[in-house]
Amino acid sequence: MPVSVHRNPAARHPRVQTLIPQRYTQHIDSMTIFDYPHYEATRKSRLRNFFHHFDVGSLAGKRILEVGCGTGDLGQAFVDVGCRVVSVDARAEYIEELNRRYPDREAHTIDLECWNPTLLGPFDGLLCWGLLYHLSAPGDFLTACAGVAPLIFLETAVSDSMDAVCPLTDEEGPDQAWSGKGCRPSPAWLQQHLSALGFEVRDISTVEANWDGPSPSVFDWVPLHDGQWQRNGAMLRKMLIGTRWNKAHSNATP
């Protein structure tokens, strides 16, 4: 099945285009892997899709935890719409670079394989894009996340299976698993675990989140139930919003 990539969806939605940060500039003196054009494309595609499916105005003043932040450019998009963002990553060099680029942001070096999120206090929402599949214990991670926020914005690579499975895989590289072991959960696994934690799950995976280039990803893929997490050279992904309405910490914003 060919990968479907919408080349310029923002042209049809000029209001949404204005919400996408325009300062993804190349930091030539301290470039990281996240400054490559491919990563800029992934940020813009995911943000564009998200802003089409979520009331951005409702984010103003909210306290958001950005996990697996890298150098913080995704989190900055949420800062730009009025959020108070706290960012965490396992790699100290990325947090140092985030502090250099965005000196007014709060950021911490934390190994997300074994963390205690309550030390950072309650949050109104949690931003987890491109991290979950780089973890070896995603179930434990989601349980920890559920303890601090009633709203989860989740984006991850997945396996095409109708069963609730989460196979592990070896990873290596500066943008891969900190522990060396990642996972590829199935959509059914994500639904099962988030539902068990009390979240109502909404799938917002559409063509507008797709990106091409040297490492393409596709969100609007057709299930074949073949257990694979790649198809025709593209990674299969899902973008979800998990909402839980009745938790006391939903009032994290003063």
Asked if 75 and 69 touch (Cβ cutoff 8 Å), the reply is yes
Asked if 202 and 135 touch (Cβ cutoff 8 Å), the reply is no
How far the first Cα of the chain sits from its last, in Å, is: 49
The count of residues in the chain is 254
Split into its structural domains, the chain has a count of 1
Per-residue pLDDT of the chain (254 residues; tens, 9 = 90+): 333 322 232 333 333 333 434 333 333 344 565 565 566 788 899 999 999 999 989 999 999 999 999 999 999 999 999 999 999 999 899 999 999 999 999 999 998 888 888 889 999 999 999 999 999 999 999 999 999 999 999 999 999 999 999 998 766 555 555 566 889 999 999 999 999 999 999 999 999 999 898 889 999 999 999 999 999 999 999 999 999 976 444 445 44
In a domain, 23, yes or no: no
Q: Tell me the CATH number at 36.
A: 3.40.50.150
- Spatial distance between the Cα atoms of 219 and 230, rounded to a whole number of angstroms: 11
In a domain, 3, yes or no: no
In a domain, 25, yes or no: no
In a domain, 142, yes or no: yes
Cβ neighbours around 153 below 10 Å, total: 21
**Alpha carbons within 13 A on the beta-carbon side of 14:** 0
In a domain, 26, yes or no: no
Asked if 145 and 68 touch (Cβ cutoff 8 Å), the reply is no
pLDDT tens string 133-160: 999 999 999 999 999 999 999 999 999 9
In a domain, 141, yes or no: yes
Boundaries of domain holding 96: 9-17+32-251
